[in-house]
């Protein structure tokens, strides 16, 4: 579970962010603070993995807060959610290590994309001490707008963000895994996991094999097809 702190001085915006967060699996809201000074007290008392941070706030603005967090070398990640759309604030936030930047107002889909992408990376790095260049490239780099036309279409009901999260988990598993192995780590439902595994099998990225045990129902085990990375890239 990823513990989240919302720092937002507008009660209405804070409530929207809270409701958006509640719709996503794998996230736990620890607290809501209306200024940076109060937020530091929360960080002293609670384990926080991710902060959703506004910039324009009283007492201590978001960038000042972010700068102090980095000076303390606190092990926490930050996504900026702000109406500030000027390059000075955006560049400073990025230089200080913000992992994403959402400009108000935004749609739920953009919020979901940011949180799922963050979750995908955190799950991967929590589970792996080392990475290959290929795995790291797949995890960190997304296609730009100029590549959208070249991206292959996904079946109805599947999303690229969840597919990325599933695939990032798969590349870290042993080359023989079940639906349950993946469901436990990714945090989506078993039914949804099956849909993504079925899709990856259909496009030739995974091989599926039915294993019959001495008792109980037969189990489907999956393994990656060698040299199939180029196939999956067009869907991510």
Residues 173 and 181: beta-carbon distance below 8 Å: yes
Domains defined along the chain, listed by start: 2-121 (3.40.50.2300), 131-233 (1.10.10.10)
Supply 28's token pair. 């736990």
Q: In what order do the strands lie in the sheet with 219-224?
A: 177-178, 219-224, 206-211
For residue 51, give the nearest of 89, 90, 93, 92 by alpha carbon: 93
- pLDDT at residue number 141: 65
Residuewise pLDDT in 10s, the chain (236 residues): 899 999 999 999 999 999 999 988 889 999 999 998 999 999 999 999 999 999 999 888 999 999 999 999 999 999 999 999 999 999 999 999 999 999 998 888 889 888 988 988 887 788 777 877 777 776 676 544 334 334 567 888 888 888 888 888 888 777 788 888 888 777 788 898 999 999 999 888 899 988 876 666 788 899 988 777 777 877 87
Contact assessment for residue 164 and residue 124, using Cβ atoms and an 8 Å cutoff: no
Q: Are 48 and 3 in contact (CB under 8 A)?
A: yes
Pairing of strands 219-224, 177-178: antiparallel
- The whole-angstrom separation of Cα 47 and Cα 191 is 31
- Give the side-chain half-sphere CA count within 13 A for 223: 8
Q: What is the pTM of this model?
A: 0.62
């Amino acid at each position: 579970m990823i513990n989240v702190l919302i720092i937002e001085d507008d009660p209405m915006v804070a409530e929207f962010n809270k409701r958006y967060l509640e719709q996503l699996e794998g996230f736990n809201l620890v607290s809501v603070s209306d200024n940076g000074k109060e937020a530091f007290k929360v960080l002293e008392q609670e384990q926080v993995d991710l902060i959703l941070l506004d910039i324009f706030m009283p007492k201590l603005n978001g960038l000042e807060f972010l700068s102090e967090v980095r000076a303390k070398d606190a092990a926490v990640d930050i996504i900026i959610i702000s109406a500030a759309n000027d390059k000075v604030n955006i560049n400073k936030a990025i230089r200080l290590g913000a992992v994403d930047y959402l400009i108000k107002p935004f749609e739920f889909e953009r919020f979901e994309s940011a949180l799922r992408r963050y979750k995908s990376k955190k799950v991967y790095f929590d589970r792996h001490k080392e990475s290959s260049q290929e795995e790291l490239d797949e995890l960190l780099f997304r296609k730009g707008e100029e590549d959208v036309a070249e991206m292959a279409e996904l079946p109805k009901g599947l999303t690229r963000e969840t597919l990325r999260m599933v695939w990032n988990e798969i590349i870290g598993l042993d080359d023989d895994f079940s639906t349950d192995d993946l469901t436990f780590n990714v945090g989506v439902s078993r039914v949804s996991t099956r849909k993504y595994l079925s899709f990856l099998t259909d496009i030739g990225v995974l091989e599926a094999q039915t294993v019959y045990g001495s008792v109980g129902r037969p189990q489907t085990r999956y393994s990656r097809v060698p040299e199939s990375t180029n196939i999956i890239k067009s869907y991510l």
